[in-house]
Each structure stands twice: as C-alpha cells, then as structure tokens.
C-alpha cells in the first residue's frame, strides 16, 4: 500500500466485523499502522484482545473491541453505537465476518443453507443497515468482503457460493443507489487467501489445529492480499478481484464459461462424495 493510500486512512474511524483472525485481523493491523481509529468486532473477545495487544505493541492507537455476532439482530447496532460513543463518528465499515459451509448437495440440509445465509448474507445486511445512518452523515464508505465464489460456483460449495453470489448482487444493486447519496461501496472478491476460513467447520466453529488443505503456491499471503484490498478501498473502487487465479476464474466465467462447466463436471465425477444417496428425514 503506497503512501497516498496510507494517508487516506489516517484518523478515519473504521469498524471491522470478523476482526478476530484471518483477513479481518490483518485488515485491523494494517489500518492501525496507517493511522486509522478502529472498532474491532467479532464473537471471540479473547481473540480480539490478542489483536488489540498486537496493535498496541506496534505503537498504533488502541482499538475499541466489541463482542458482536452478526447473526444476532441486536449486535451490529450495538457495535455501531459503541463506536460512536467511543470515537464520535464512523467513516468506513468493513463487513468481513463470514465462514463457509461445504459438502455435497445431497448431504446438506436446508438448515445448513440457512446457517450459511444468516452469517454471510443477513450478517452483512445487519452490519450495513446498522451503519448506514452514520455513513450517510460522514459521506463514508461501505466495504463488503465477498469472494470469487460469487462469480463462479464449484461442486461441494453450493451453500457458500450462493451466499457470495447474493452479496455480490447486493453490492451491484446498492452501489448506484448510495452513490447518489455520497456513499461509496466497494466489493472485495478474494480467491484463495491465507485465512482461517478453511479451518472452520459447517457449524461455524474454528479448528485452529487443522492443516491448510490447499497447496501453498496457490494461496496468497494475508499481508499481500490486504495491501491490495486497502488500495482498492482507498481508491473507492467498485470491485476488486484479489489473487491472479481469482482474476483468471472470473475471466473464464465471463468469456469462456463452458470451460469451467467442463472442469466442474470432471471434479464432480472424480469425487465419490458427490454420488452419495440423498439423506432421508
């Protein structure tokens, strides 16, 4: 992130959901180093406190930490209220909280899909709705962390892809609406980035000891990815695709979708789990 991008965040008040680990934690650290005033929100306050101590050790301003479960209607408004009480305003909201439900369609229940949407879709909506009045006052910015899975879906990831297609549609719809009111919307669509999302099970529980299932060469480091993200946010870009393979997948989806469909058929055919019998009951 260049000097001009860093300067744009100086003294800005930023609320980040899902800030206890992964991309959210790295966003917090880099924004703190850029001089932002932070509210860090997540379910795990013990992890948030570790992030706070890390930021203090860097010599940056101490962030406010707030317990916030984005699946609870009352939590995002409370996070916004505590931000205003502590910092006096709100300039940027980053709706980052999310996880991935995975598995063959025949093995997933409607409840699995509902749980996925409660966090990844309605959690984003709760966050944006809670913050919007203050963002309108500050002529600030709403940032949504989506995914390349919002462009192209793959076997075994139907619930996650559905949720990310939904937030991409949301961003596309509200961007021109809110532009008329002086508010910018930025959608961040990462590919494979170093994070804990692949260590979180279908119930949303973290398994920190689990190994990264993807080869190291395919996964972009958090630090590098967040630099790209913050550059896009500082420029007010409508959407940024993070990682080279992510941009390739989006390119193929837009211009050569048949290639991805063929690859998906081959993937499904070679994984026995997709050929299981539907569960009853």
Q: Catalytic residues, which ones? A: 160
* Total count of residues recorded for the chain: 281
Q: What is the DSSP letter of 220?
A: B
Of 247, 197, 193, 201, the C-alpha closest to 220 is 193
Choose among 134, 141, 137, 99: nearest CA to 116.
99
DSSP calls for 181-217: TT-EEEEEEESSBSSSGGGB-TTS-B-TTSPP-S-GG
In DSSP terms, 90 is beta-bridged to none
Q: How far apart are CA 205 and CA 271, in angstroms?
A: 25
Contact 135, 114 (CB under 8 A): no
Cα-Cα end-to-end distance for the chain: 52
CA 202 vs CA 46, 107, 108, 199, 273: distances in Å: 22, 12, 10, 10, 16
The three-state secondary structure class of 90 is coil
As a whole number of angstroms, the distance between CA 279 and CA 111 comes to: 14
């Amino acid at each position: 992130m260049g000097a001009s991008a860093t300067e744009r965040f100086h003294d800005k008040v930023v609320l980040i959901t899902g800030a206890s680990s992964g991309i959210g934690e790295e966003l917090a650290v880099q924004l703190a180093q850029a001089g932002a005033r932070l509210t860090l929100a997540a379910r795990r306050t013990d992890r948030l406190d570790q992030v706070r101590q890390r930021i203090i050790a860097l010599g940056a301003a101490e962030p406010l930490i707030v317990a916030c479960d984005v699946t609870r209607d009352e939590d995002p408004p409370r996070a916004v209220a505590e931000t205003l009480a502590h910092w006096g305003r709100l300039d940027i909201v980053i709706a980052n909280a999310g996880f991935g439900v995975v598995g063959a369609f025949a093995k997933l229940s409607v409840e699995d899909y509902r749980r996925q949407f409660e966090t990844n879709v309605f959690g984003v909506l709760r966050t944006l709705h809670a913050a919007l009045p203050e963002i309108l006052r500050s002529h600030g910015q709403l940032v949504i962390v989506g995914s390349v899975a919002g462009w192209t879906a793959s076997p075994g990831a139907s619930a996650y892809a559905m949720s990310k297609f939904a937030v991409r549609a949301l961003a596309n719809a509200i961007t021109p609406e809110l532009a008329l009111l002086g508010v910018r919307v930025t959608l961040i669509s990462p590919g494979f980035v170093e994070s804990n999302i692949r260590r979180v099970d279908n119930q949303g529980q973290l398994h920190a000891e689990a190994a990264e299932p993807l080869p190291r060469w395919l996964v972009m480091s958090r630090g590098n990815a967040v630099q790209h993200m913050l550059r896009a946010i500082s420029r007010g870009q409508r959407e940024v695709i993070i990682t080279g393979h992510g941009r390739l997948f989006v390119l193929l989806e837009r211009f050569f979708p048949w290639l991805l469909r063929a690859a998906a058929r081959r993937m499904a055919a070679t994984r026995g789990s997709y050929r299981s019998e539907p569960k009853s009951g």
